[in-house]
Amino acid sequence: MSRYKPSGVKRRLSKALKSNSAVPAWVILKTNGKFRLNPKRRNWRRNDLKV
């Protein structure tokens, strides 16, 4: 990826980075294990971002 990035692309990349986290442990406890996985989880090798 290039070093220079337009601000729109940079913003979308940072949003994708933040949304790619696991479900917090306290949420799993609070929902009695109903929400264990983040359905929008993404791996950098397998899935492409359309930014």
CA 10 to chain centre: 14
Assessment of whether the complete model's pTM goes beyond 0.85: no
pLDDT of residue 4: 95
Cα separation, 39 vs 20, in Å, equals: 10
Per-residue pLDDT tens listing for the chain (51 residues): 689 999 999 999 999 999 999 999 999 999 999 999 999 999 999 999 998
- The Cα 40–Cα 15 span in angstroms is 12
Structure tokens, 32? 């009695």
Helix extents (H) in the chain: 7-19, 25-30
